[in-house]
Amino acid sequence: MVLVLSLMALTGCIKPTPPATAEPGLRITVVALAEGAGAAEVVDTPARFDSSILDVLALRGLTAELVEGGRLGPVSAARESSLRVERLRGDFAEGAMLLVETRPGYYAEMNGQYRWVVGVTLTLSASQSRPNQTVEFDVPVFLRYHHQREADAVDAAGGVVARRVGELADDWLRAAGG
Amino acid sequence: MILLVAAALAADVAGYVRIMTRPDLEGGDGRLGHWNLYGRLLNEGPYAALELRQSILERKPGSLAPWTDVHVRIEGGTVQGADAQNGSLAFLRLSQLYAQAGNIGLTGVTWRMGTLESNFGDLGLYDMRLAQVLGDTVGGQARLETPGLDLTAGLGDAGFPLKGAEYNTVLSGGVTARVNILDHVELGVGGQGYYEPMVVGNRYAPHSTPRVSYEDYARGEVFESFLRDNPGEMINFPDPVASDARSWKAVGYLGFGGFGPLKWNAIYAHYSLLHPRGHVTETWEGESVDIYAHDLTDERTQFTIGDELQLSVVEDRWDVALAGLYGDYRDGDNDIAPSDDDRTFASVVIRTQVYVSPTVHLLAESSFANETSHNGNQWRNHKDSIFTSDDGASDSEGLEYGDAAERVTWQGKAGVVLNPLGPGIYTRPSLRVLYGVQYSTQNNAFGNSFVESIGEYNDFGNVERHWHNVVALEAEAWF
């Protein structure tokens, strides 16, 4: 018990750099989608993945509205992020928008774990008149069981993706004077 | 090495590493016990695996166009400063090399040529893959993956993995089928067969030396016994008789979960008839002969079943993993000498991990294991057990070893884990500080360099020790 309390106290003393803060009432539309190898259309990302992104935006004082990827319809035909953003602007968003695209793909089995790679593209469009900020990266994910597929891979990548979303939001808000 | 670095720069890289230091003040080699039956934690050494994937035709999201890639894996159990091999590249191996292609000829089928493998999963607390086929085969494999059904069939040669430098072709074929029912239940079955043909004139093909007793074979005294019975008649030592050799294995898997706190429960099993052995060389009075052992090693069977369940007791606060393992190995040719091919073992392992914060965890694990030899004493319980090696009496000609046919082992482990990526018993990387303790009925039941002789010229003395303690600083990562 002493060890537990000491650890809790120790971890509580570590102060991370505070995130940037948005102006009150600043809204952002978040569009999150997943596309898998062989799948013809984009689908929703898992609920826990979505909430981890919404949480880091809320932490910065942003009012975020989620548009799930499965609702996009014709937008899914576009494969380029900039084209998707352009189409989404007309259909779903007027102000700031964050497009989160995930591409889970199976890699190989390694030491009894199933390795997946989730390709991620984050595109932040602050407004129609400003250039988009885009970040691309891969998240390696290890799943325990064969039945865990694309959705589980995206879900497992949620923590890393949320962290990168937070960094992108910080850059945007600080550049805007937040 | 330069080629490896160059290839790594051009390809997707994945890997697995674990490294540890476990200073052992009780004379051990840093591992708490002898093997993973007591749980893999603190019983495994360092390991590194690097897998490179070069996508030649990339698999595109949303496309059913052909794709192809090449995989190369290099792995081994040694790291500079962490084990006796000190990271020597001689102990690393190119364990996998294969090319695969999809959507060619049949949509949804992946063709693979090179090293093969199909398994139903890993018994994580033991780090064992019980339901695995084709892992020892180089050849061709086809895999059909649909949302509810996964079929794999492969064919090739397992001669080098089974026989090494004494290669002879061993034809190998295997199939697995896995059915998924609503993501809550999975059922898998599979099997693999081996056939090593008779090749007259090939000394590495299956042969049997006639009229050999198992006792002489176990003692390594076949040739000596023959010459004692037939003085001066070495020329008449029986010639080996050619035959073919067959072996097989059947595997099964049942998984279910996603109900309440039960994340998943996985049961794996296999039953196999081991492939007969080749030959041993015996020397007596300066003359050597090869004893061919097909008929002396063709009745060895292994049955192993393991179960592991994962519970989320309190979401993101407290997880538990519980596993059990049972094995029954039989050797129908051997009724006289204790051996690893003729024993029963069983164990349970429980691990609990409490998440003090998302990245700081407390881990505790305990295991209890029983191992029983079918052919008499196999272990020494005391430092002077050498005097009671056979039915409680000293017997320099006895086939038993030590004074116990049963080994009972308990282990307890606990410590602090730092997981940068958050909660999860199998979330990595993990940086761990652990303490482990073992009690075994066997004396000095861990890797050591103790002198076991109790002769008058033993200058080091003997030690009676049933408890063993280690402290570990270790890291483990998948990437």
Task: Give the one of B16, B59, B178 whose C-beta lies nearest to A105's C-beta.
Answer: B59
Q: What is the pTM of this model?
A: 0.89
* Closest Cα in chain B to A42: B62
Q: What is the mean pLDDT of residues B246-267?
A: 94
The CA distance from B470 to B376, in Å, is 31
Query: Is B15 an 8 Å CB contact of chain A?
Result: yes
Res. A11: pLDDT tops 60: no
Q: Token digits for B167?
A: 């290669």
- Given pLDDT bands bounded at 50, 70 and 90, which one contains residue A144? very high
Nearest to B284 by CA among B216, B332, B347: B216
Residues 390-429 of B with CB under 8 A from A: 416, 421-422, 426, 428
Q: Is the peptide bond before B429 cis (omega within 30 degrees of 0)?
A: yes
Cβ distance A7 to B360 less than 8 Å, yes or no, reads yes
Q: How do strand B262-273 and strand B245-256 relate by DSSP bridges?
A: antiparallel
3-state DSSP assignment of residue B6: helix
Residue that is written with structure tokens 């483990």 in the block = B476
Residues 308-347 of B with CB under 8 A from A: 310
Cβ distance B51 to A112 less than 8 Å, yes or no, reads no
Res. B326: pLDDT tops 70: yes
Residues 157-176 of B with CB under 8 A from A: none
* DSSP β-bridge partners for residue B163: none
Q: What is the mean pLDDT of residues B30-43?
A: 95
* Closest Cα in chain A to B422: A159
Res. A168: pLDDT tops 70: yes
Cβ distance A37 to B16 less than 8 Å, yes or no, reads no
DSSP label of A144: S
* DSSP β-bridge partners for residue B12: B53
* Closest Cα in chain A to B60: A37
Res. B2: pLDDT tops 50: no
SS3 content of chain A, % helix, strand, coil (to 5): 40, 30, 30
Res. A74: pLDDT tops 60: no
CA dihedral B31, B35, B38, B40 (to 10 degrees): 70
How close A66 comes to chain B (CA, Å)? 23
Residues 94-133 of B with CB under 8 A from A: 108, 117, 119-122, 124, 127, 129
* Closest Cα in chain B to A140: B479
Cβ distance A145 to B121 less than 8 Å, yes or no, reads yes
Count CB atoms within 10 A of the CB of residue B58. Answer: 13
How close A143 comes to chain B (CA, Å)? 9
Res. B62: pLDDT tops 50: yes
Nearest to B324 by CA among B340, B341, B307, B305: B307
Q: What is the pLDDT of residue B57?
A: 92
**Domain residue ranges in chain B:** 108-284
* DSSP β-bridge partners for residue A117: A105, A140
The CA distance from B316 to B259, in Å, is 16
- CA B108-B113-B114 angle, to 5 degrees, is 140
Across B28-32, B133-137, B396-400, least confident range? B396-400
3-state DSSP assignment of residue B210: coil
Task: Give the one of B129, B310, B354 whose C-beta lies nearest to A112's C-beta.
Answer: B129
Cβ distance B478 to A36 less than 8 Å, yes or no, reads no
Query: Is A7 an 8 Å CB contact of chain B?
Result: yes
Q: How do strand B245-256 and strand B287-292 relate by DSSP bridges?
A: unpaired
Cβ distance A7 to B121 less than 8 Å, yes or no, reads no
Number of helices (H), then strands (E), in chain B: 4, 24
Q: What is the pLDDT of residue A8?
A: 56
* Closest Cα in chain B to A147: B183
The CA distance from A123 to A136, in Å, is 9
Task: Give the one of B73, B124, B354 whose C-beta lies nearest to A112's C-beta.
Answer: B124
Q: What is the pLDDT of residue B283?
A: 92
Tell me what percent of the residues of chain B surpass a pLDDT of 90: 76
Optimal mutation site among A147, A148, A163, interface B, most CBs of chain B within 10 A:
A147
**Domain residue ranges in chain A:** 23-101+121-135+150-175
Q: What is the pLDDT of residue B48?
A: 95
Task: Give the one of B64, B120, B122 whose C-beta lies nearest to A113's C-beta.
Answer: B122
Res. A12: pLDDT tops 80: no
Res. B7: pLDDT tops 70: no
Q: What is the pLDDT of residue A38?
A: 58
Q: What is the pLDDT of residue B58?
A: 87
Residue that is written with structure tokens 């499965």 in the block = A70
Optimal mutation site among A15, A48, A143, A144, interface B, most CBs of chain B within 10 A:
A144
Query: Is A111 an 8 Å CB contact of chain B?
Result: yes
Q: Identify residue B207 by its one-letter amino acid code.
A: H
Q: What is the mean pLDDT of residues B421-439?
A: 94
Chain A partners of B14 at a C-beta cutoff of 8 Å? 107-108, 110, 115, 140
Optimal mutation site among A51, A110, A113, A148, interface B, most CBs of chain B within 10 A:
A110
pLDDT tens digits, B83-108: 999 999 999 999 999 999 998 988 88
3-state DSSP assignment of residue B339: coil
Cβ distance B121 to A159 less than 8 Å, yes or no, reads no
Cβ distance B121 to A112 less than 8 Å, yes or no, reads yes
Res. B444: pLDDT tops 60: yes
Chain A partners of B354 at a C-beta cutoff of 8 Å? 4
Q: What is the pLDDT of residue A2?
A: 57
How close B66 comes to chain A (CA, Å)? 11
Q: What is the pLDDT of residue B154?
A: 97
Query: At B181, which helix (H) or strand (E)?
Result: strand B171-181
Across A11-15, A57-61, B139-143, least confident range? A11-15
Q: Using only C-alpha atoms, what is the Rg of chain A?
A: 18
Q: What is the mean pLDDT of residues B63-71?
A: 89
pLDDT tens digits, B164-218: 999 999 999 999 999 998 888 999 999 999 999 999 999 999 999 999 999 999 9
Res. A5: pLDDT tops 70: no
Res. B159: pLDDT tops 50: yes
Please return the burial class of B359, using the count of CB atoms within 10 Å of its CB with bins 0-12, 13-18 and 19+: middle
Q: What is the pLDDT of residue B369?
A: 98
Query: Is A41 an 8 Å CB contact of chain B?
Result: yes
Chain A partners of B357 at a C-beta cutoff of 8 Å? 7-8, 11
> How does the average pLDDT of chain B come out, rounded?
92
pLDDT tens digits, B141-158: 999 988 889 999 999 999
Res. B379: pLDDT tops 80: yes
Q: What CATH class does A23-101+121-135+150-175 carry? A: alpha beta
Across A5-14, A57-66, A127-136, least confident range? A5-14
Res. A6: pLDDT tops 80: no
Number of helices (H), then strands (E), in chain A: 5, 5
